[in-house]
Chain A
Amino acid sequence: MKHEIQRIGEETLKVLKDMESSEALQELKVKILGKKGSLTALLRQMGGLSPEERPIMGQVVNEVRSRLEQAWEERSAELEAIALEKRLSLERIDITLPGRRVQRGHHHPLTQVMEEIEDIFLGMGFQIAEGPEIESDYYNFEALNLPKEHPAREMQDSFYITEEILLRTQTSPVQVRTMEKLFPYLPVKVIAPGKVYRNDDDATHSPMFHQVEGLIVDHGIRMSDLKGILLNFSRQMFGDSREIRLRPSFFPFTEPSAEVDVSCMLCGGAGCRLCKGTGWIEILGSGMVHPRVLEAGGYDPKEVTGFAFGMGVERIAMLKFGIEDMRLLFDNDLRFLQQF
């Protein structure tokens, strides 16, 4: 009997090693160790053994059983590993195929730039002001020291609605409107982004375009403060290594006035096509608020001073993104817009 047990053990171990599937392995296990299994059947016959033989045989059976079970587990683990290996080798995908498309839209480059400008000035403690796009002659011109028939009015070809109402030609009217609203509060520290209009249409002019106006009024505001704020802005907008320079200029509503150039972001100042070899790029107009404009806003020019600046958003977007024709910005071709 002992031999019989050991034979079953040996034979089973031999077969077990060649089992190729876990199902077959399970089947074999039932055949040997199940209720009707051959080893179980032998065990039943142990009732006919002498009391001395029983513990010996019991030990033999247990040994064989545990050997078998261990072998089963090993083989079963092996088979699982093989199966996993096989599955992994079958489940190969082409990782170069594109992913599921996510529908995402795009911000217009001009709003992107405008928000960026806003954020920079928000960070410097400016509030954002607004004013109407359809403006009175008073706010657009007269309050800005541009009386009727002033030759400087000709710098801007206006769209008129009536003799007294027009599409604003600049965001500067927001200067006086804001001062009127805030007086006598100090400091006045705002930027005013928005649409402006001039009767012009070519590769560098659009009849509708965008400006951001800036205004600070307080005790003791200096022209050097203007330079400091704008240097700060230019570096955040165009890069840390930018420098700025001021050039005398003329705007009726500032005195002294200055054109502001920033060192070329393409060549760093060495001279290239973008900066026409000068190393500098004009980005905005600015100056100390003209006393008559302060007065129009309700403030006393003997008490306070201020500076103002205005920049063209299209121009900055064109510089930033390398756009050559302004008309592209309002053509709204999706192939263009979806780059941003």
Chain B
Amino acid sequence: MKVSMEWLRELVDLDQSAEQLAETLTRGGIEVEGVENLNKGFEKVVIGELVSLEKHPDADRLLVCDINVGQESVVIVTGAQNLLVGDRIPVAMVGATLPNELSIRKSKLRGVVSLGMLCSREELLLDEAVGLDRSAGGILILPPDAPIGENFGHYLGREDSVLDLELYPNRPDCLAMVNVAREVASLTKKKPHLPKWADQDQELPLPTASDLRIIIEDEDLCWRYAGLVVEDVQIEPSPEWMQKRLKASGVRPINNIVDITNYCMMEMGQPLHAFDRDKIQGDVHVRCAYPGEKIVTLDGVERNLQIDTLLIADDHVALGLAGVMGGLDSEVTKDTKRLMIESAHFSQVSIRRTSRRLGLRSEASNRFEKGLNVHGIVATLGRVCDLLLELGAGRPVALVDVVKKLPSGRQVSLSAEHTSTVLGVELKVDEIRQVLDNLNFKYQQQKGLFQVEIPAYRSDLEIEEDLMEEVARLIGYDRIPTTLPQGDLTQGSRTPGQEFRRRLRRVLVQSGLDEVLTYTFTRAESDAQWGSAQHSIPLLNPLRDELSVMRTSLVPGLLDVAARNVARRNMEVGIFEIGNTYWGEEQPLKDLPREELRVAGVAVGKSGKHWLNQPIDKDFYYLKGILEEVALEFGLKLEYRSAKNNSLLHPGRSADIYLKKQCIGFLGEMHPTLEKEWGLERVVVFQLELPPMLEQMRQTVRAYSIPRFPAIQRDLAVVVSMEISAEAVMAKIRKLGGELLQQVEVFDVYTGKPIPDDHKSLAFSLRYQSLERTLTDEEVNLLNSRILDGIQQEFGAEWRK
């Protein structure tokens, strides 16, 4: 809502500047988004008279002008050729910043000091029709009566400032100047001076029309419809004061009739529409569209109507879309002699639906959508009558007012004591009474209890708490002290799941991965690839096609991030995300879907060159090492088995990950056939389900004591066939080593000469230790050779010395 300060000053005593009032309103709960000074850019532009005009001594194409700007005269150098001595012209003085952002400074042109600039229409970004014909292509030349020394903006009528109100949905009343004035009056404790029609439920002393019948056919969608019949209409431009106010309010002036309806709408909040009375054949009907019905609206567009579109029609055709836009056929033209001016209620829902569907939003539809005061419908027509007569635009002759439903007045009780308790401020009964008086509300008081009569324009006030807010904002929120809740002490806590996620995040970060956060909606194709098309949930209204389904896998989002980074030459990528995946059980969804937490990671590239460190490949073993850290942190035994039937992963470099016989995820290099799609090479991914990990995690560490007896270390290297896994050999070693074998680790894997083809050498380091005694070399040697025999038998392994 744009509020003209000039207009507002007529409606309420005001001693604040626009900026001060903006602050007052904002602190009072009516947010002011901005203050627009209509004269912006013209603060230092004045009207001057060209006293003399001489050729520049050192430049053929420049002129040196002597200009009288009222109290003083200035010398300005210009290149313009359309000037004559005696012309009145706008002069941008030194220090001005023009609407096109050009700053004017003192300058020297070929030795002559120039103290300002003469301006063209274009430089001033003018839309007013002003200036002599001679202005074309040069300096703007004003009529000879333009007052010398006056501010150019004021000369154009741009003195006003405009507040831009950002209204919350609960205050549609402030879409009317009179209610803004009431609000300002309450907050500044001043008196409003409103037109008498601002009071609701007033009678308009006009006879009812004998020849006009209004028939409301759908009383749910239209509670009240009033038509004012006007004769002797004289169409002409509206007066300047009205045009200025409309422009300041963001409404384009058209002619006196349309301007009066718009002016009254801005002032009273009730949208109005003027029909050419002579184009209405028979009765006026308020009804929904017939199947297949069409209308050509004011903007010349033919529109197909849905059967729930509310129309104003006569006996034969539709005259307009109720509350949204009038029809072209019944438009007021310069030949119009008689009018019917509509002031009506239409259903918020219906208007919203129609204006959305047709993409038509206007000041009027906006007001209907937010809901308006049905009690003000005829009163607004009263204001219209006054203005018609004042402007000589027409003669009101009759009124038809059809009322189907009139919301009854509301009373809300307010207890001073309760208010004090809820706000936490000690308030005297008198203070509350003062607030109600400032709001100009009527009430009955019984000690600390008020029965407040809610005025019809404040439909937002329904319960006691609503009135408490009125009290709080009028006494000022700053009056509320700071206290702490008085109840029992409480213990802050996270759930085990939240705790688990925090720790998991820490382990992954400490292991070298960067955390990313990606959108939870993604492309349908990629999600189907990595997740489950059957379970993925599509959005009805996605922002873009590539954000159209809820993810069932975190992987595509991470691959996107990796690809984007590699494309930007961030070549070393190791990232993870912890987040939900979303699983629908049926299409379309009937119940809320399952939301399942996953952790996923992607790595590609190798660590950068460093003068000391060997580059680390971000390969399978890189991520596996990190997952081992995770397993260690939570005391989980993760098992890696060759991935089965996974077309997304490299068959030789991928694993399914098991926890207690349950597959909870995978780790592997992406299949080479997918590399092109993402523009990534040799990228490794993993994804794990969180709930099983949380369920199986070790609750507390059970510490064991450090053995007192020395350990004996033995290394063991064997050559085995390629397909035998290190894990299988280690399992056998562990089994054979029994309880004296404390630890087995692989410390070398080697292929190539002199190892035969299809074979590899595995080297293990074994640590033997007893908790009860010192082991002898002999018994360790015996155990070691028994292990060797065992793995030779089992795997056909050969001992490598």
Contact = CB atoms under 8 A, between A and B. Distances in A.
B541 A250 contact: no
A160 B514 CA distance: 32
Contacts of A167: 539
Given A228-B484, A334-B514, A123 B469 contact: no
Contacts of B498: 128, 130
19 contacts: A97-B611, A105-B509, A125-B490, A125-B492, A133-B580, A151-B348, A195-B520, A199-B541, A201-B543, A207-B521, A221-B485, A223-B424, A225-B484, A227-B482, A228-B484, A229-B485, A248-B472, A249-B29, A258-B477
Given A162-B589, A250-B168, A332-B564, A227 B485 contact: no
A106 interface: yes
A207 B543 contact: yes
A132 B592 contact: yes
Nearest to A289: B465
A223 B422 CA distance: 6
A213 interface: no
In the complex, which of the residues A104, A135, A161, A329 has the most CB atoms of chain B within 10 Å of its own CB atom? A161
A154 B168 CA distance: 11
A219 interface: yes
A106 B478 contact: no
Nearest to B539: A159
Contacts of B542: 159
Interface residues of B, number: 94
Contacts of B172: 151
Contact of A256 (B465, B517, B593, B595): B465
Interface of A: 97-98, 100-101, 103-108, 110-111, 115, 118, 121-128, 130, 132-136, 149-152, 154-155, 159-162, 165, 167, 186-187, 189, 195, 199, 201, 207-208, 216, 218-225, 227-229, 231-232, 245-250, 255-258, 288, 290-291, 305, 329-335, 337-338
A134 B537 contact: yes
A103 B616 contact: yes
A152 B483 contact: no
A133 B421 contact: no
A187 B490 contact: yes
B645 interface: no
B408 interface: no
B423 A290 contact: no
Contacts of A161: 537-540, 550, 588-589
B169 A250 contact: yes
A249 B538 CA distance: 35
A123 B491 CA distance: 8
Interface stretch (B141-149, B387-395, B566-574): B566-574
Contacts of A288: 422, 465
A227 B481 contact: yes
A104 B492 contact: no
Given A160-B541, A161-B589, A224 B482 contact: yes
B370 interface: yes
B607 A103 contact: yes
Interface in B364-383: 369-371
Contact of A154 (B169, B512, B607): B169
Interface in B485-526: 485-495, 498, 502, 505, 508-521
Chain A binding site: helix, strand, loop or mixed by DSSP? mixed
A207 B547 contact: yes
Nearest to A97: B611
A194 B536 CA distance: 21
B732 interface: no
A105 B494 contact: no
B520 A208 contact: yes
Contact of A122 (B469, B486, B494, B610): B494
Given A255-B469, A329-B517, A189 B490 contact: yes
B1 to A, nearest CB: 15
* 5 pairs of A and B residues whose beta carbons are closest in the complex: A224-B424, A248-B29, A222-B424, A256-B469, A103-B512
Contact of A106 (B515, B573, B592): B515
In the complex, which of the residues A130, A152, A195, A250 has the most CB atoms of chain B within 10 Å of its own CB atom? A250
Given A101-B610, A105-B512, 15 more contacts: A103-B607, A103-B616, A106-B509, A107-B515, A152-B169, A155-B169, A161-B537, A207-B521, A220-B421, A224-B423, A224-B480, A329-B517, A331-B564, A332-B561, A334-B514
B472 to A, nearest CB: 5
Contact of A255 (B465, B493, B512): B465
Contact of A134 (B27, B422, B595): B595
B722 interface: no
Nearest to A219: B487
Contact of B481 (A111, A224, A290): A224
A308 to B, nearest CB: 13
Interface in B345-364: 348-349, 352
Contacts of A103: 511-512, 574, 607, 616
B158 interface: no
A188 B283 CA distance: 61
B492 A108 contact: no
Contact of B483 (A107, A160, A218, A222): A222
B477 A246 contact: yes
Contacts of A330: 517-519
B515 A108 contact: yes
A163 B186 CA distance: 42
A107 B505 contact: yes
Interface string B552-594: 0000000001001100101001111000101000001100110
B171 A250 contact: yes
A167 B551 CA distance: 13
B703 interface: no
Contacts of A335: 570
B751 to A, nearest CB: 27
Given A105-B515, A224-B481, A248 B423 contact: no
B565 A118 contact: no
Interface in B434-489: 463, 465-466, 468-469, 472-473, 477-478, 480-489
Contacts of B422: 222-223, 288, 305
